[in-house]
A and B are shown apart, each in its own frame.
Chain A
């Protein structure tokens, strides 16, 4: 990895961490656990579009570990890892299928599967089916917030310099 690329990825990690910190400061919009804007996903999507799966995975892993270290606790790390990795795999798959087009669809799928994975994690942790009552809310929230972050990433990616691929 060239120094140039390393620096760029470090910068992206910092940005996503800052976005995550801002999002944590926003009070929950609805009183349902698991619903949040997922703004840090904008960075993952930009990386998927402008770099490749490998760089997106690197930055996401670094962001999850660092955010757990800075703001989180053990349980939230488990939820983040489940949601983050499953949504990343789905986004990598569909980003390939869609040939980096329609980033808003990739974002929606990422949001959807992020929420589904976290719901599954919640079922494991509480060992109860009761949390399934949130499923319809989480499906809608995941798709809509993913659509929003997808559009953000699509437009933001246009303003990045063309010669990022160093």
Chain B
């Protein structure tokens, strides 16, 4: 192993290490917290439904269907999740229920994304 190779290896190693550190910071940094959260349901990039999770009082289910695929979404007071899907990997079901904006729920084979966001301050003022 000559000197140039060693240098390239050291630089690549250092960059990879830095990337891991920066990514860890992003995961560990506190997120913007809100007092109320809104869930947004996207199907292939278009917003199909928006639900104020704090306004939910009873458990309800929604079926998202497109191209013969179905994801069953359950909405509980304060949280949302996918309870069944006819995709092969079932990752969206394993992601469980989410109640804050940390990570969205995704079903990649069907192009379904559910994300939760703090309800905008502006919207709150409008409701007063």
Contact = CB atoms under 8 A, between A and B. Distances in A.
Interface residues of A, number: 35
A102 B1 CA distance: 10
Nearest to B114: A130
Contact of A98 (B9, B89, B106, B111): B9
Contacts of A102: 9, 12
Interface residues of B, number: 35
Given A31-B95, A97-B8, A140-B23, A112 B16 contact: yes
Contacts of B109: 73, 75-76
B20 A140 contact: yes
Contact of A109 (B5, B12, B92, B104): B12
Q: Label chain A's interface by main secondary structure.
A: helix
A3 interface: no
B44 to A, nearest CB: 7
B10 to A, nearest CB: 10
Nearest to A144: B20
Interface in A51-94: 73, 75-76, 79, 94
A127 interface: yes
Interface in B1-57: 1-2, 5, 8-9, 12-13, 16, 19-20, 22-24, 26-27, 42, 44-45
The 7 A-B pairs at the shortest CB distance, nearest first, are namely A127-B45, A136-B23, A136-B26, A31-B95, A139-B23, A31-B94, A102-B9
Interface of A: 28, 31-34, 73, 75-76, 79, 94, 97-99, 101-102, 105, 108-109, 112, 122, 125-128, 130-131, 133-137, 139-140, 143-144
6 contacts: A28-B89, A32-B103, A33-B108, A108-B16, A128-B45, A139-B19
